[in-house]
Structures are given as C-alpha cells and as structure tokens.
Amino acid sequence: FPAGVFDEQLYLQYEIVWGLDWDPISGLNSGISQIAKSGMDPEKVIFNMPVEMLFGSTNVFGWPQLVITVRAKNFLSGDTLRGYALFLLPPTTGTQELSSPLLRPRSATLLGEWFAWFTGRHP
C-alpha cells in the first residue's frame, strides 16, 4: 500500500459480506487492524492481520468478499479516509497473501480536489 507523505499511522477496517446462499458458521464478520507505519520504504505499509471466518453453502453464488477501508491518523488532519479495496475470500484455509488496487473517491469539482489535497480529507 503506498502511503502518503504525511501518513504517520495507517489502519484497516474490514467487513466480510456474503450472498443469501451462504451461512456463517464461525468467526467475526468485521474488525479493525493494528496501526502500522511504513518501514525503510515509505511507499509500502504491510499489515499482518489475521482474518478467520468459516462459511457453509450449497453453491458458489454470492461468494464471500472482504471489504477493506484504509484510514490514516496524522497530526495535520486527524483520522482520514485513504481508500477502499475488495478481495474475494480464498477457497482454501491457510496463510494467504492478497493484493488489490486501492480505490479512492474523488471530489466532483477541481476546488474540491484542491481542498482534499490541502487538508488530506477525501470524500
């Protein structure tokens, strides 16, 4: 995840969503990660966050998905939204490394974009 220049602390909020044919058997369907900081490479932040959820289903329609919200805490703008990501949950158990593009809402006007850049608060 590429961090911004002023992003001192990043964290994730997650929620697992699923279709009508799926039944949750065990696990939490939402949560918050620990706060992470970039290391030697300021363009990368790694979250080692375990997510455990067990489902039962009769077919694959409505496959469970992991919705991630990336948020930042910094001294200039407080707690701000950095973007969203979506993952299909892996079909097998075990350790998985997932990656996804980060999507960020944009302002409808140029003035709004400038304000978001200046304050660090995006819509």
Q: What's this model's pTM, rounded to 2 decimal places?
A: 0.76
Ranges of each domain in the chain: 9-119
User: Cβ contacts of residue 100 below 8 Å, gap of 6+?
Assistant: 68, 85, 86, 87
CB 44 within 8 A of CB 5: no
User: Cβ contacts of residue 14 below 8 Å, gap of 6+?
Assistant: 30, 31, 32, 33, 49, 51, 66, 67, 68, 69
Q: How does pLDDT run across 4-46, given as a tens digit for each residue?
A: 555 678 899 999 999 999 999 999 999 999 998 877 777 778 8
Q: How does pLDDT run across 39-70, given as a tens digit for each residue?
A: 777 777 888 888 888 999 989 999 999 999 99
